[in-house]
């Protein structure tokens, strides 16, 4: 949840950045040529964490909703990447277990998490630095890529915080007393990160992240089918923004 904590400061940082060109995107100098060379992407099971936050700030994981949301995210990511002209293969958690790759996948995730925290310790970097990264996931990526016959691995990381009605009521009262609507408007928070890794050598080729003051969770709709459609539509909007710098490989 560390990345969620910096959401309130992003606009301040953007304002303070002045004329320097800054970005949330990261990529290696050769990412375009590598992505075009391979053109096939294995979409890994998304890492999803959603917490319900009560009136005193206590968090409770929403495990059932996380499983549900993971499937929606995976399907929308596959569609978005296919629309960019890539050949896409989905790797399911069951496949990882059946192929006895659980330990390999765990080590791969640990390596990616360490690199992600380093790349986004500060969200905004100057473009010169952001577009010349050399982060490498090392042997875990190379071994996993070899065992799954993968050239490019696509990581998806989503975290969200959802406030209970009690917490929202508290924020509403605070907003009235403080004569500010910020607490009500920023009721929830979430981020979505997507990254592409070269499995032949472990290099992180590209990543991007988007923060939003609204989570994907839709509590006001009781019909599950309608709720899924709304959440999928929100995801499509976020993914179109995250992936807009990836050149269409159809061309």
pLDDT in tens, 114-164: 999 999 999 999 999 999 999 999 999 999 999 999 999 999 999 987 776
How far apart CA 3 and CA 8 sit, in angstroms, is 11
Q: Give domain status of residue 247, yes or no.
A: no
Q: Into how many domains does the chain fold?
A: 1
How far apart CA 27 and CA 221 sit, in angstroms, is 39
What is the pLDDT, as a whole number, of residue 12? 46
Mean pLDDT across the chain: 83
The residue behind tokens 């696509």 is: 154
**Residue 177: CB atoms within 10 Å:** 9
Does residue 11 surpass a pLDDT of 50?
Answer: no
Instruction: For residue range 55-67, list pLDDT tens digits in order.
Output: 677 888 899 989 9
pTM value is 0.82
The residue behind tokens 């296919």 is: 82
Does residue 234 surpass a pLDDT of 60?
Answer: yes
Instruction: Quote the distance between the C-alpha of residue 113 and its chain's center.
Output: 12
Strands 59-61 and 204-212: unpaired
Strands 204-212 and 189-198: antiparallel
Write out the residue range of the structural domain in which residue 170 sits.
Answer: 2-242
Q: Give domain status of residue 251, yes or no.
A: no
Q: Give domain status of residue 249, yes or no.
A: no
Q: Give domain status of residue 199, yes or no.
A: yes
Dmax (CA) of the chain: 59
Angle at 16 between CA 135 and CA 26, to 5 degrees: 20
Q: Give domain status of residue 205, yes or no.
A: yes
What is the pLDDT, as a whole number, of residue 4? 53
Q: Give domain status of residue 56, yes or no.
A: yes
What is the pLDDT, as a whole number, of residue 8? 47
pLDDT above 70 as % of the chain: 75
């Amino acid at each position: 949840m560390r990345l969620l904590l910096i959401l309130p400061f992003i606009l301040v940082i953007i304002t303070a950045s002045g004329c320097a060109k800054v970005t949330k995107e990261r990529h290696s100098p050769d990412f375009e040529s590598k992505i075009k060379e391979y053109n096939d992407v294995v979409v890994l099971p998304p890492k999803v964490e959603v917490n319900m936050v009560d009136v005193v700030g206590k968090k409770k994981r929403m495990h059932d909703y996380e499983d549900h949301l993971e499937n929606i995210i995976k399907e929308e990511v596959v569609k978005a990447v296919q629309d960019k002209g890539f050949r896409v293969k989905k790797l399911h958690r069951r496949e990882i277990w059946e192929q006895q790759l659980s330990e390999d996948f765990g080590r791969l995730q640990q390596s990616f998490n360490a690199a992600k925290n380093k790349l986004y310790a500060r969200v905004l970097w100057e473009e010169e630095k952001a577009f010349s990264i050399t982060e490498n996931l090392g042997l875990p990526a190379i071994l996993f890529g070899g065992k799954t016959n993968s050239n490019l691995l696509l990581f998806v990381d989503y975290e969200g915080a959802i406030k209970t009605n009690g917490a929202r009521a508290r924020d509403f009262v605070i907003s009235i007393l403080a004569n500010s609507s910020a607490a009500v408007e920023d009721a929830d928070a979430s981020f979505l990160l997507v990254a592409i890794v070269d499995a032949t050598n472990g290099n992180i080729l590209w990543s991007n992240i988007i923060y939003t003051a609204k989570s994907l969770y839709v509590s006001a709709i009781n019909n599950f089918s309608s709720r899924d459609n709304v959440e999928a539509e929100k995801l499509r909007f976020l993914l179109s923004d995250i992936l807009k710098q990836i050149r269409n490989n159809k061309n």
